[in-house]
Structure 1
Amino acid sequence: MDSPVLFLLLSLSFSLPFSSSSLDTIHEGTSLSIEKSEDILISPDGVFSAGFYSVGDNAYCYTIWFNKQSRGKNQTVVWMANRDQPVNGRSSKLSLLKTGNLILTDAGKFTVWATNTQSLSPVHLSLYNTGNLVLQNMEGVTLWESFDFPTDTLLPQQLLTRNTRLVSSRSKTNYSSGFYKLFFDNDNLLHLLHDGLEVSSVYWPDPGLISWEAGRSTYNSSRIAVLDTFGNFSSSDDFTFMAADYGPNLHRRLRIDYDGDVRLYSWDKEGQTWFVSWQAIQRPCKIYENGSSSCYPKTMLLNGYRSPDFQGDLYLRLPERNLFSYANSVQDFTLVCSSKGTVQLDRKYKRSQENGIVKFLLWFASGVGLEIICIFLVWCLLTRTQQASSVDKQGYLVAVTGFRRFTYAELKKATKDFKEEIGRGAGGIVYKGVLPDNRVVAIKRLNESNQGEGEFLAEVSIIGRINHINLIEMWGNCAEGKRRLLVYEYMEHGTLSQNLSSHALDWKKRFDIATGTAKGLAYLHEECLEWVLHCDVKPQNILLDSNYQPKVADFGLSKLQNRNFENASFSRIRGTRGYMAPEWVFNLPITSKVDVYSYGIVVLEMVTGKGPTKEPKRLVAWVREKKNEAAAMASWLEEIVDPILEGSYEKGKMETLITVALQCVEDDKDARPSMSQVAEMLLRQENDSHGDDHGINL
């Protein structure tokens, strides 16, 4: 075989696993579209890819990932450009401009991310075998490289310097910036830091040790660390470690995980998976969390660790109903199909006699009526095509928005011409309705607005994707002309406001409502992809289901944020008098703490039974005054607790609830806790008070 032919075949064989249009370099004037799956960069050795990566429903980040996929898992992401501001799944582009600037634009054509580089000579962008995305000019000068801007991962040969840091993701599925950081501090030491919303604290190396006791040196100010391809990590502060599988030719990555631990991962070629070959902290309880380095009970137990130096017994507290859930083993069963199951049906068919009239009609139809039948068939075909088009359009809208789009006529019929009003607010009127499938719904008819249909559908599609047990669920919407309607699940017991003055809400229900509301707001602020400020937390917007479990409603009037609350801009004051944070009045930056303040007022109202609409400051000052007198007056709780409770409440939990509420209504927003911290404090108090649960000796 001729050598040119052999070379051609070898070249083709190496290129087969990748798209025929895949490349490792793009030049100025080129754009990579999010809607073209082939618009990706692949390193020459095929190990790394760079392209748009899905981080949520219709949300994407420009990402570099490890090209080999672990079994049963998504691609391994090693770098993200816009981790805190994902772009739309349509019309977004990465463009290399002739000016030398690399920019990422969203569907709205605004710049989400840029390298902010300039060059008089032509430039090109290349993905190297190291996983480094590099922007260079014709002279070979590097203008920008991804290695200088790491996210949560350090690759071999990538330097960690005084100007760079690794920042964890928020959770396993939320890739946005989290609270844990690996970086060089001003003392020239490599540190792990928990940088929370309220406080920050170093937790590695042990803050109780002097640098030399931890094996570190502060005398080298170069502040540089690197991981080599053999699995050896060395830092200028004398900190070093070696991978358990030390050796060449392995893919490795050092990552600060969302739980705050730093781990070195090595690629197992045979098993096609990553395994941990080193980690900084062996005992997770040493990782800073929740204000201290102690471990607390979790809401969900996913794994466990038993310390070798723990000599006692270990107990897990479980609900009594679960104690015997595994008592019965699963019984084996089989399905057998055999020929013996076949039964011959005893049927006889008798040919019917010919009918002269039918025969004549058939002859007539085949002759004189042929044209009429053809016209009828064409009419049926056109009708069915129009119906199919309508169904396809409806299906497309369901796919885009995530829920159904109703017609105005359908909702008018469901509400019997908007007959039964069940709520009213600044945004519109809520009616009770029944859908054709017998689902009872709450239909909110919004006040007329000049908002365009596309903008409205874009907003409700975001709201419709937000899903949490303590948030009201939206089932659909309607947009016809200037008519805007929202379809929600129906809450049997109405609003918290309607129930506060009744005896239906005992102490346990009130505490559960406070906890559930905190969890719902925490999800809006920190967990869902599009961070949301509610801006109008009040009893009228907290709905109660058949079990009096709370669901926060009306966050459709909220402000969708881009994870940078300090830059939030609002055209007008939002909220309800009595529940509004001081920031609104004094024109201060609006953050998630406005919802925390409103939540605190709602809790004080639940506890005392007194509304804040006239004198909110007086309510807060009164409760605070009574609490401060606690040392001199043992009965202070009795003086402020709602008389409807008739003294039936748990003192410890009540004191915790009031303390948390007073923290939430501090004038200084920085002194208020986050909603996730509020939820955790209440859940911890609830768990500590359950002393009658059963335990299992492990």
Structure 2
Amino acid sequence: MCDPFLFIVISLLLSSPFSSSALLRISKGSFLSVDEPNDVLVSASRVFSSGFYPVGDNAYCFAIWFSQSLDDGSHTVVWMANRDRPVNGQSSKLTLLKTGNVVLKDADRLIVWTTKTTSASLVQLELYDTGNLVLHTLEGKIVWQSFDSPTNTLLPQQLFTRNTILVSSRSQSNYSSGFYKLFFDDDNILRLLFVGLEISSIYWPDPWQRAWQFEVGRSTYNNSRTAILDPSGQFNSSDHLNFSATDLGTGPKRRLTVDVDGNLRLYSLNEKLRAWVVSWQAMSNPCTIHGICGPNSLCTYAAESGRSCKCLPRHKMKNHTDWSYGCEQDFNFSCNNDEAVFIKLPHADVASYGYDFGYFPNQTLEWCKVKCLQDCSCKGLQFKFDEARGYYLCYPKTKLLNINGYGSMQFGDSIYIKLPKSNLSSYDKPTEEFGLDCSRQVTTRLDRTYKKKQDNGTVKFLLWFACGCGGVEIIGFLFVQYVLFRNRQVSGATENGYLQIATGFKRFTYDELKKASRNFSVEIGRGGSGVVYKGTLSDNRVAAIKRLSEANRGEAEFLAEVSTIGRLNHMNLIETWGYCAEGKHRLLVYEYIEHGSLAENLTSNTLDWKQRFEIALGTAKGLAYLHEECLEWVLHCDVKPQNILLDSNYHPKVSDFGLSKLLNRGGIDNSIFSRIRGTRGYMAPEWVFNLPITSKVDVYSYGIVMLEMITGRSPTSVQTMDDNGVMEQRRLVTWVTEKMDGATENAAWIEEIVDCNMDGEYDKGKMELLVRVALQCADQEDKDARPTMSKVVEVLLGHENDDF
């Protein structure tokens, strides 16, 4: 007969959270061990994983990678803590100390990496769905985050600043720091830098061009030095470097990486092929990247065959497994002019800064050769024609092709190498082309020793004795915990009943909502925070059920937020009926709105002038309530037409207001926003430039929505025709402002911007008022110049009762 007490103990052990194959977070005093393959942190949606990643023979780095493997079985690493100091494959640990510091220790207990943090509060280490590894308090305040110290990759929503830098890996299989860096320079320009063994140089943007020239298109007039890649594939930088993925739009997983070859590329993941596809790159010709073939080599590129590297005449490859080492000479050369000869390399250019021992304009080739022969340190020369001046330039060099030699039929100039006359016939042979020998597996052992502990019989006996006593205590402890657990179940049910009475919410089970939505089969909306499904509750009410994708919040924090949402009550806010917080599932249950979103109605052209004005006023009332009237000060952070729903009478109801961070009155700590919030086109400049976040971010978004509703045009691109008949793209705010500022007294500028679907049936005076209010709300330069939402309501109410 089975012992019932033993059955209880076994059941409790099996239900322990540590039996799971992956962890969502670790707390103070906990650790991850390289010896345990299951010691892996995963994000709530399991897109990202974090743990010990193998980088060599018995060598590991603590890293973050995409959980989904590629077609070859490998994973894409996006961050590493100790890329240049791998740890042993046995006995190494990452520990969250009770002091609030995270330390990575090697097997010999040597600290290899640390967050250098302290916190008296309770903190947790958690991997967010954005790929950000965050050390935060239970209140959500960020103490440390991996987004502040990237490796070679920038992820969507990860802010790139003056204090961050991307450094390429050494090779595809060597994750240590490589030769190429992306950073903000002192002139506020985002640049790529080659850092070789002997020299470093900027190679992107083209160092020969000014940053503000048309070909480069950068601006030095903003010292905020911030850049960000949004989830849709749009990259925006404070120096006006703006580009987008060829597959622009939400959906694919993306990453921006400084690759091992020095090129900056934006990748999108093809889920079906399980492969990354390049959707943008900084340079189409890899030969313009410095150091790409190493010293004493010549790079050539063809679209059909790609890049190839060749050694200069009488030079040989230095390392057949790595072309960054370049080539070395295989001859001895004495300083004797009679023994020297110049070999011409036609259609070639060179970048070897700092090695010109002179610059001589308007000279002949023979004069330039003699000048080089007179100096034993001269290795060759570059002879170029200056089209602007109409004569040749002579550049004798002490080192030739030290950074990058580039051969192309587009070049009309030549390079001349000084070589010994002996074996002249060998110079006619083709130069040696790089042939990498990838079969040679080179393993570098770390110079690290480990002390072996001496066995002690007495210590072993005491250890076993302590373990036996501890086992007895654990069994007794588990029995007590089981009894307490049963008591908590009863009290917990009572507590949930009080919560329902206090907040007006019903706490649904996941199975209830799954049944109500018919297994989440009828999708009625989708956004960055989750997917909305239509469902019918057990009391026959039709509901909108939203499954939140940002499920990284704990249950206690989630319940605190939804209880606040339950206390918000306004006719222009959507009514929330309940919630579900069960396991990893986080859902909200709303009233179902018949006419859908403002975005859908603008597309279908169903709104007349009176309805649009009432929507503008009602939306302003709802936001004013959130900002100034409710018990908790709530920032919406994502005001857009998709989040303004219209009921059966086309009255607006602001939705998704509870998904933003809830702030206490009395001030804002900008650091609680762990990532940029909002949608491209509606986001205030404060988000991009890392400025303090206030209620004025919602005011800005409201102004953009009103302009979109007035004009029927997209906020990000308005097609206009210039005086030469050429189509150009303009931002909506800029276009409307120019129309208003450029109008004369009698000019009908209102008619030029108003949505043509209204067929001219609107009040011109009230329309002009609404445009001016919207433009003041969308002021980009000074957030303090934007009105409060209560002021907007006051202005619009002054005209609400006038005849339309």
Give the shorter-chain TM-score range. Answer: 0.3 to 0.5
Instruction: Give the TM-score, by structure 2 length.
Output: 0.37
